[in-house]
Structure 1
Amino acid sequence: MAGSERLICTSGEVQEGGDGVRFPLRTAFGDETGFVVRYRGEVRAYINRCAHVPVELDWQPGKFFDDSGLYLICATHGALYDPVGGHCLAGPCRGGRLPKLDVIERDGHIYLLEKTA
């Protein structure tokens, strides 16, 4: 299985524990959004879909972290997610997780790694 890279944003657009960057995504569920954030110096990306109810997490575009900048939070139900692996730590989705996306940061840019058949 081969793959391709799709530019999401510049590295400077994603600050540690700060706003994330949303991007369009085509999944088995149809048109959705993905998002990329920076946590502990690394970029992490997920499908923007709560594990409890399929709603987007951010209450305003790019607002994925709670006030502490330590957890991703669903604005609808308050579920808290671990930014490292996307596992739900508290709230109605406990035991669930965010669908992870593969990304790479290179030469000042962040790319989505897309798999193709």
Structure 2
Amino acid sequence: MAGRTELTTLETVQESRSWLFTVRDRYGEAEEAILVPCEDGVEGWINRCMHEPQRLDVGRGVAMRDDEIICPRHGSMYDACSGACDNGEAAGTRLVGVDVTVEDGRVFLTDSIYQFDHEGGLEDDGEADENESDEDGDGGPSSTSHISF
């Protein structure tokens, strides 16, 4: 799976504050990944909180504040550049990285573990994920976070 695949542009990630895509690991298993702006360009992360299997981007973009990615369920905040979390339920953990490179304003997937599958999240299989209830009907997860936007 070595090599590189063009994903999007640096400008797109910076303007939208995140970019959701799907990759496959060496066993063919699909995973969602996100690109987020960082001081040196962009960083790539698996789209999952380390506290619980909660998506950070549920299809509407990543919630961010002060260059930190916010878990929509419990409010744990991850540094967008290092992936480290120092607060909330996920304190002491780090997001799983996805290697990307920026060249001439274009973002490339360069990770030897993952192969690009498609832009956007996993296909909807019609079954709700038990960790992503939609109690308020807005398409997002329920939240017990103390963080407000």
TM-score normalised by the chain length of structure 2? 0.67
Report 1:4-19 matches (<5 A).
Answer: 4-15=3-14, 19=17
Are the equivalent residues in 1 in contact too, given 2:22–2:33 (CA < 8 A)? yes
Report 1:71-110 matches (<5 A).
Answer: 71-110=68-107
Report 1:50-69 matches (<5 A).
Answer: 50-66=49-65, 69=66
Matched residue SS, 1:14: helix
C-alpha RMSD of matched pairs (Å):
2.2
Matched residue, 2:137: none
Deviation at 1:58, TM superposition (A): 2.3
Matched residue SS, 2:112: strand
> Is 1:37 aligned to 2:36, yes or no?
yes
The answer to which structure has the higher helix fraction is 2
**1:36-91 superposed Cα distances (whole Å, 9 cap, x missing partner):** 1112142111000100001111255222313xx32111011111011121011211
**Amino acid aligned to 1:61:** R
Matches of 1:98 and 1:24 in 2, distance apart? 16
Matches of 1:62 and 1:7 in 2, distance apart? 20
**1:86-106 superposed Cα distances (whole Å, 9 cap, x missing partner):** 011211011111001111001
Aligned residues: 112
Deviation at 1:29, TM superposition (A): 9.2
Over alpha carbons, which structure has the higher Rg? Answer: 2
Mark the runs of 5 or more structure 2 residues left unpaired by the alignment: 114-149
Matched residue SS, 1:49: coil
Matches of 2:63 and 2:34 in 1, distance apart? 9
- What percentage of aligned pairs have identical amino acids? 31
Mark the runs of 5 or more structure 1 residues left unpaired by the alignment: none
